[in-house]
Amino acid sequence: MRWRSCVIAAIGLVALVGAARAQGTYGIGRPATPAEIEGWNIDVDRDGGNLPEGRGSVAHGEEIFAQQCASCHGAKGQGGVGDRLVGGRGTLASAKPIKTIGSYWPYAPTLFDYIRRAMPQSAPQSLPPDDVYAVSAYLLYLNDLLPADAVLDATRLAAIKMPNRAMFVDDPRPDVKNVACVTGCSDGK
């Protein structure tokens, strides 16, 4: 019967489209391949998930830092055109807080994530993983979070507990209340 062949044809068509594209209302775009995703996905999560293989020492990190980073961040990470990266512990509740990797950053793997994606500013994504581990190690050493002879890899980086980790809270706003006084208000400021 004619209607039945139509239904069968329709089911066949759906199956065909489904084979080309597993999902999707519009059938727009094409599947991204695992190799394409691996090449672009440089996200490292706070627990160190997606950190690449590799390792780097504090000593090697000091060399890389001197070549690639010190012109902006200072030889010891004390800051310059670029952010200060070292010190500042115990200043966050003061009138002049100093926010650095050691005093402020909550998660150590973020260091690898950020250096790899954005540093050095003149040539981001140019450092191989070993060099990124090494620079991360040097910066953690300068912040008293690794010993001078340390070698950093994914496991060791993920195991570091940053000092300021517990000091972040969710957004509590609205936190400031004003009353819309209209006449004879005592304090307009």
Partner 1 sequence: MTAPATADPDDLAAPSRRHLLRQGGALVGGAVLLGGLAGAEAQAAGVGADNLPPNIPGWMTAPGEAMGSEPYGLPSRFEKDVVKNIAKNLPQYLSAAARTPLADLDGIITPNGLFYERHHAGVPSIDPVQHRLMVHGLVDQPLLFTMEDLRRFPSQSRIHFLECSGNPVYTKPYGKTASDLVGLLSCAEWTGVPLKLVLQEAGLRPAAKWVVAEGADAAALTRSIPIEKCLDDAMLVYSQNGERLRPQQGYPLRLLLPGFEGNMNVKWLRRLHVTSEPAYSREETSKYTDLMPDGVAREFTFYMEAKSIITRPSGGQRLSAPGFHEISGLAWSGHGKISRVEVSVDDGKNWREAELQEPVLTRALTRFRLPWQWDGRPAVIQSRAIDETGYVQPTLAELLAVRGTNSFYHNNAIWPWHIGADGEVSNALA
- Residues lying near partner 1 in the complex (CB under 8 A) are found at 21-26, 28-32, 36-37, 40-43, 45-46, 81, 92-93, 95, 97, 99, 101, 104-107, 110, 113-114, 117-118, 121, 124-125, 167-185, 187-189
CB of 68 to partner 1, least distance (A): 15
Which of 2/30 has CB closer to partner 1?
Answer: 30
Which of 14/118 has CB closer to partner 1?
Answer: 118
Neighbours of 18 (CB within 10 A): 11
Which of 16/185 has CB closer to partner 1?
Answer: 185
Which of 10/118 has CB closer to partner 1?
Answer: 118
Give dist(CA 51, CA 116) in Å, integer. Answer: 11
Give dist(CA 138, CA 64) in Å, integer. Answer: 9
CB of 71 to partner 1, least distance (A): 12
CB of 154 to partner 1, least distance (A): 16
Give dist(CA 40, CA 142) in Å, integer. Answer: 31
CB 49 within 8 A of CB 112: no
Q: Is the dihedral of CA 76, 78, 84, 89 positive or negative?
A: positive
CB of 55 to partner 1, least distance (A): 22
Which of 99/151 has CB closer to partner 1?
Answer: 99
CB 86 within 8 A of CB 101: yes
Among the listed residues 115, 108, 144, 107, the one whose alpha carbon sits nearest the alpha carbon of residue 132:
115
Give dist(CA 67, CA 143) in Å, integer. Answer: 20
CB of 58 to partner 1, least distance (A): 21
